Structure 1
Amino acid sequence: MSAVSQPEFAVPRSPARRAAQLFFRTPSGVVGLALVLLVVICAVFAAQISPYDPVKYLPADRMQGPSVRHWLGTDLYGRDLLSRVIYGSRISLSVSILSVSFALIVGGLLGALAGFYLKWVDTLIMRLTDVLLAFPAILLAIALLAFLGGGFWNLTLAIAVAFTAPFARVVRAAVLRSREAMFVEASTALGASDARLLWRHVLPNSLGPIMVEVTLRLAYAILGEAALSFLGLGTQPPAPAWGQMIADGRPFLELNAWISVAPGLAIMVTVLGFNLLGDALRDALDPRLGR
């Protein structure tokens, strides 16, 4: 007797696997991930990659253009621009990661409470975010730095405060979508507490838009750090901050434009990488896209 063939059933893909497959099918997402990894590698291994000390003065080599010895040239004090750009990635990434993390924790907590409890809690928190959103982010950061003073930690705090309200809005919207799901109603019927519903069911199923917002805010934080450093409100010299490097090279654009062009290109590549990464993540995590 011939064996009876059994019907084959396709194994459904897990959401994580599906999102990963969709992401790596997107060329722009792969390019963005590669650019971000390049900047991260430069920041982590700056001491091993940089050919020169970024703050060491070399008067004999001042104001040189790109050459075999100095690939991106040198600045007014003879400091190697490639080394300063590489070390500058540490400052930009550190400020952006710390500020976005702080804004995500505080703003995410406020947004989760507003979206889950609604009523007077939602009204109070949203009116607070309205006050913060009434000020342009860069002006709010400048006002805080004018009060606190410049420096790495004050710059990080100022950017974090400016980003807290947008994170609260995004998390609230994501929680509002998840709190009405059937699994939340089932957990409520089984007697789950509010804390368990929020941290075990609602927030984990709201990670998609939150992750996308994180990547985009990292790009905005890098731009904000560069702008504030350009105005002299960020990390102080001789630290190689990209914005400060652009400001230092502004008077010498006709003599050696690379003093400003090199850090400007670094900012462009980093922000482009995070934007491409965020766009690809948005498409990969949207359940309405792909098969």
Structure 2
Amino acid sequence: MKDFLKKLKKNPYMIAGLIITGLIVLLVVVGIFWMPYEPTKMSATEKLQGISFKHLMGTDNMGRDVFSRVMYGSRITLLIAIGTVLIGAGVGTIIGALTGYYGGAFDEVVMRVIDALFAFPSILLALVIVSVFGTGWSQLLLSLGIAFVPSFARIVRGEVLRVKSMDYIESAKLQGVSDIRMIFVHILPNIKNVLASSILIGFNNAVLAEAGLSYLGVGSQPPFASLGKMLSDAQQYMFTVPSICLCPGIVIVLMVLGFSFLGEGIRRWK
């Protein structure tokens, strides 16, 4: 524990990432058990109100409490980001590990497909997939997850190619270790820092992608609130009641900063 704290003190990126991400997680967890108002509750007499003790972040054009909607929207955005990374990292890691380990024609064929998919920006690829599966948060999660597979596959493949030529891998092969054990016991644990850093960068990109696609109207649909959708709905009122646009925007920025700092902190961890 003392060694961990000593390393943590020397890593300001990790400290900043833990603090910012901790605040976002706290907001989400509190929102599961308590909210000041129902996020979908409308009030015709309380439309477009500014920040007050009654409404900490004001109200939107339908009289809904922005703070409650930010709490709920943060949960939706974070869940979609987690699901996106689980799909992208899970499938991408398996593809990258297998292609990097076996190489040959299998590697050539699979990586050419991955390169073709990687040529498309993640959001554009997700838009194409959404057009097939339809709109909604579950469809968005699946689409972004598929779109994130190529980047994880390339990263893992490169690390596997680097690690598999090391002496201890050659020694394990001479001892007759099976391919599955070689990949999942001897190789992947030795690229865990790079993989963890990539996952956190993936969270960062997933938050931005979800917010961007929901802003365009292809993500979460009413009555579900997401931070990107809130920004889209509030943009025309940003000069009359700035809080309803700034508050969800600040939470998105904090999410991105938190995951970015954590990723850099892991990369610098020694």
Return the TM-score normalized by structure 2: 0.95
**Given the alignment of the two structures, is residue 187 of structure 1 paired with residue 172 of structure 2, yes or no?**
yes
State how far apart, in whole Å, the 2-side matches of 1:82 and 1:48 are: 14
**Given the alignment of the two structures, is residue 255 of structure 1 paired with residue 230 of structure 2, yes or no?**
no
- The match for 1:211 is 196
Larger CA deviation: 233-242 vs 35-44: 35-44
Q: Which runs of 5+ in 1 are unaligned?
A: 1-15, 285-289
Larger CA deviation: 176-185 vs 93-102: 176-185
State how far apart, in whole Å, the 2-side matches of 1:110 and 1:278 are: 22
Gap change, CA 1:116 and 1:268, over 3 Å in 2: same
Q: Which amino acid in 1 is paired with 2:213?
A: L
- The match for 2:150 is 165
Paired residue secondary structure (2:240)? coil
- The match for 1:70 is 55
Instruction: State the 1:238 CA deviation.
Output: 2.3
Equivalent residues of 1:35, 1:270 under 8 A apart: yes
- 1:85-141 CA-to-partner distances (Å, cap 9, x unmatched) read 111111011101011101111111110011101111211121011110111111111
- The match for 1:236 is 221
Paired residue secondary structure (1:45)? helix
Percent same amino acid at aligned positions? Answer: 37
Q: Which amino acid in 2 is paired with 1:180?
A: S
Instruction: State the 1:47 CA deviation.
Output: 3.5
State how far apart, in whole Å, the 2-side matches of 1:92 and 1:182 are: 44
Instruction: State the 1:63 CA deviation.
Output: 0.5
State how far apart, in whole Å, the 2-side matches of 1:78 and 1:154 are: 29
Equivalent residues of 1:70, 1:82 under 8 A apart: yes
Gap change, CA 1:226 and 1:132, over 3 Å in 2: same
Instruction: State the 1:271 CA deviation.
Output: 0.5
State how 1:1-291 maps to structure 2 within 5 Å. Answer: 21-284=6-269, 290=270
Q: Which amino acid in 1 is paired with 2:68?
A: S
Paired residue secondary structure (2:165)? coil
Larger CA deviation: 47-56 vs 87-96: 47-56
Cα-Cα RMSD: 1.6
Q: Which amino acid in 2 is paired with 1:76?
A: N
Equivalent residues of 1:42, 1:49 under 8 A apart: no
Q: How many residues align?
A: 270
Gap change, CA 1:20 and 1:116, over 3 Å in 2: farther
Instruction: State the 1:146 CA deviation.
Output: 1.7
- 1:8-57 CA-to-partner distances (Å, cap 9, x unmatched) read xxxxxxxx997774344212211111111221222223143421111111
Q: Which amino acid in 1 is paired with 2:11?
A: T
Equivalent residues of 1:28, 1:280 under 8 A apart: yes
Q: Which amino acid in 1 is paired with 2:103?
A: L
State how far apart, in whole Å, the 1-side matches of 2:13 and 2:52 are: 32
Q: Which amino acid in 2 is paired with 1:88?
A: G
Paired residue secondary structure (2:45)? helix
Equivalent residues of 1:23, 1:283 under 8 A apart: no
Instruction: State the 1:174 CA deviation.
Output: 1.2
Q: Which amino acid in 2 is paired with 1:193?
A: S
Paired residue secondary structure (1:60)? coil
Paired residue secondary structure (1:114)? helix
- 1:169-211 CA-to-partner distances (Å, cap 9, x unmatched) read 0111111121112211111111111111111101111111110
Paired residue secondary structure (1:79)? coil
- 1:142-187 CA-to-partner distances (Å, cap 9, x unmatched) read 1111222111111001111111000000111111121112211111
Paired residue secondary structure (1:61)? coil
